[in-house]
Amino acid sequence: MTAFARSEYRTVVVGAGIVGLFTAYHLARAGAGPVLVVDRGYLSQGGSGRNGGGVRQQWETRATIRLARESVAAYRSFGREFGYNPWFRQGGYLFLADSEADLARLRAVHDVVASEGLASRVLDADGVARLVDGLAPHAVVGGTFLASDGVLYPFPAVWGVYEAARRLGVEVALGADVGGVTVRDGRVAGVTTTAGAVATPTVVNAAGGWSGALSRAAGLAVPNVATRHEILVTEPMKPFLDPMVVRVSDGLYFSQSMRGELVGGLTVPHPPGTAAGTPSSTAFLVAMARALAGLVPRLSAVSVLRAWSGFFDDTPDGFPVVGEDPRLPGFVHANGFGGHGFMLAPAAGRRVARCVLGEATDLDPLLFSPGRFLGPARATTAERLQLG
């Protein structure tokens, strides 16, 4: 006897973050139940509750741009579909270059984005200054801007999909840690958890920063690496900033919420893995303060209200891992999104569900399939714009 409602499910999704919940929602809409979602923590405890809410379509590769464009459309209609308002505000994304080399890189990104029919613009320093009031003199040489990018509040988005999935019959078990995947006759047969064991022919690994550990518990060697990233929020200020701002040289990013706070982050080095947990560090606060004050000097007087951290789930080429693992039938990957699961979740969740149902998707297997990491090393496309 287990703590779950059933002893057997058609699909078990590991991870109640935004990717796992969207996957479960689409499976339930397709009538492919019963579906169980299991998560080791509480709702929004993982990366889906620890991010800056950015949703952008500026990427280096067409495949990622197309997923992101579909996700932007989904977030625009989210309130009508789910009954929750994620306050998706399309104030744009402004990428900053403080060197000619970085500006050349952004121009190349702009060319790809514009060729996909999106109204990206290349700006000089004066154009950037018109979008960010109070920039330090000579702080940037230019940038790129896409007005249809934006930011949202992660929590109502997570809760909206969670409640919609449950209304469709999805069972969500929080506080149940998956310890292993049961394999029988060379394929998935179930999972063991701290709340008991269940039988299932299909496991979806949407565990975010813990996805590599789950894959390895199933006997699969994967290249996913969990990396800790920090973020903070300041006291409210008079509104002065519409876009999300991202600097290419160091990954500094920040936006202003509708309440007036600045929300932003900056990468500082941490040992890989999840063992250290998700505290904030003095090193981050110092680096973030210097970066913000150096770019917009008047922000040096703004107080920080709180800081926290969360895990990225990184892959060597910067693309997510989506699809059934060729080494273990029934084990479906929905991970490796780096810090951008929220940006891609609506589009990715649909495709993960199709993979579970055995349906074809439009995802290029050379870019997204777990099989791309198997066999001899080969040159491959890389998505390197892993910022903001």
pLDDT per position as a tens digit, 40-81: 999 999 999 999 999 999 999 999 999 999 999 999 999 999
What proportions of the chain, in percent to the nearest 5, are helix, strand and coil? Answer: 30, 25, 40
Helix (H/G/I), strand (E/B), else coil: 162: helix
pLDDT tens-digit readout, 202-234: 999 999 999 999 999 999 999 999 999 999 999
3/102 same-domain check: no
Is residue 232 located within the same domain as residue 375? no
Would the pLDDT of 18 be above 50? yes
Here the CATH number for the domain that contains residue 182 is 3.50.50.60
244 and 340 housed in the same domain: no
How would you class 139 by CB atoms within 10 Å of its CB: exposed for 0-12, middle for 13-18, buried for 19 or more?
Answer: middle
Pair 77, 156 in one domain: yes
Residue 159 sits in the same domain as residue 289: no
Structural domain that includes position 182: 1-89+149-224+315-388
In the predicted model, is pLDDT for residue 14 greater than 70? yes
Of 312, 333, 359, the one marking the end of a domain is: 312
Q: What is the per-residue pLDDT for 376? A: 76
Q: Give the mean pLDDT of the chain.
A: 95
- Are 254 and 381 in the same domain? no
Amino acid residing at 240: F
Considering its fold, how many domains does the chain have in total? 2
Q: Please check whether residues 200 and 51 belong to one and the same domain.
A: yes
Full 3-state SS string of 174-203: ECCCEEEEEEECCEEEEEEECCEEEECCCE
Residues 135 and 237 in one domain: yes
pLDDT tens for 230-283 read 999 999 999 999 999 999 999 999 999 999 999 999 989 999 999 989 999 999
Cα–Cα distance for residue pair 14/21, rounded to 1 Å: 10
pLDDT of amino acid 1: 34
Same domain for 30 and 115, yes or no, is no
Which pLDDT does position 15 carry in this prediction?
98
- 378 pLDDT higher than 90: no
Q: pTM (2 decimals)?
A: 0.96
Query: Could you tell me what percent of the chain has a pLDDT over 70?
Result: 98
Same domain, 85 and 24: yes
The closest of 76, 86, 149 to 340, measured between CA atoms, is: 149
Q: Which of 289, 312, 335 is the last residue of a domain?
A: 312
Question: Percent of the chain scored above 90 by pLDDT?
Answer: 95
Mean local confidence (pLDDT), 348-363: 97
User: In terms of domains, do 125 and 258 share one?
Assistant: yes
Is residue 300 located within the same domain as residue 174? Answer: no
Q: Which CATH number fits the domain that encloses residue 288?
A: 3.30.9.10
Indicate the residue among 271, 286, 312 that finishes a domain: 312
